[in-house]
Amino acid sequence: MSKMDAYTFIDLENYVRHNESEMADRAKAFYQQVKTRRTIRDFSPERVPRQIIEDCIRAAGTAPSGANRQPWHFAVIQSPELKQKIRSGAEAEEREFYERRAPQDWLDALAPLGTDENKPFLELAPYLIVIFGQKFELDEHGTKHKNYYVPESVGIATGILITALHNAGLVTLTHTPSPMRFLNELCGRPVTEKPEMILVVGYPTKDAQVPDISRKDLGEIASFHA
């Protein structure tokens, strides 16, 4: 935008103010709903309509971002051939991680989750959403413009995406094979984009199991300074 352009402001529309008792009910109900979310590793191959994924990504795209650059890209993978390639790329990195790269304290921290280098869900689940952060944006002249707070912005958008998918009735696994550069080529994304994570999306199997882990209490995660 040049200095000659007007910076326009518009009225706040669609803001709904609730009374305090409604707010208390809504806050409690939302917490009750989101606390049932669990990260799943046992995925069913059952199909999920594309439109549900599209609306959840639309929701993710409403996230706040540094200078409103919206520096994210969601590559939605349904192709069995691509999933197979992503699985084999990820398992190669994971094998290195579990056999060589990971220090013992990290392996100990992962033990309760029961993870290993085998990632069958990358082929079984109906969708993989590969999430990229855009460090730069190209304008119409091909000039690079730096984006701001990219990991933070992408993290917020991913949180909304996970919550939207959970709200729709789907389950997710946040998967971060490292390093993830192989995903640029497989997803046809430019080198100016950094893959941040793979969100595995679908339904759990009927006999899906999850680790017996708990969440920190409010007193452990918050301090109030009135």
Binding mask 116-155 for ligand IYR (x = CB under 6 A): ----------------------------------------
* 177 scored as a contact of ligand IYR (CB under 6 A): yes
Task: Give me the sign of the Cα torsion angle 103, 108, 111, 112.
Answer: negative
Task: Tell me if 113 contacts ligand IYR by CB under 6 A.
Answer: yes
Q: For ligand IYR, give the closer residue by CB, 102 or 186.
A: 102
Contact (CB, 8 A) for 130 and 89: no
Per DSSP, the three-state class of 199 is strand
Interaction between residue 110 and ligand IYR (CB under 6 A) = yes
Whole-number Å distance between alpha carbons of 32 and 24: 12
Name the closest residue to ligand IYR (Cβ). 115
Closest distance of CB 27 from ligand IYR, Å: 28
How far apart, in whole angstroms, are the C-alpha atoms of residue 193 and residue 84?
A: 22
Please report, for residues 10, 35, 53, 82, 184, the alpha-carbon distance to residue 200 in angstroms, rounded to integers and kept in the order given. 38, 19, 12, 14, 17
Please state the closest distance from residue 55 (CB atom) to ligand IYR, in A. Answer: 27
Using CB under 6 A as the binding rule, whether residue 115 contacts ligand IYR is answered as yes
Helix (H, G, I), strand (E, B) or coil at 155: helix
Contact string 62-101 vs ligand IYR (x = CB under 6 A)? --------------------------------x--x----
Residues 121 and 127: their CA atoms lie apart, in Å, by 10
Distance CA 189, CA 196 (A): 13
Residue span binding ligand IYR (CB under 6 A) among the ranges 5-13, 54-62, 68-76, 175-183: 175-183
Determine if 107 is a binding residue for ligand IYR (CB under 6 A): no
- List residues binding ligand IYR (CB under 6 A): 94, 97, 110, 113, 115, 175-178
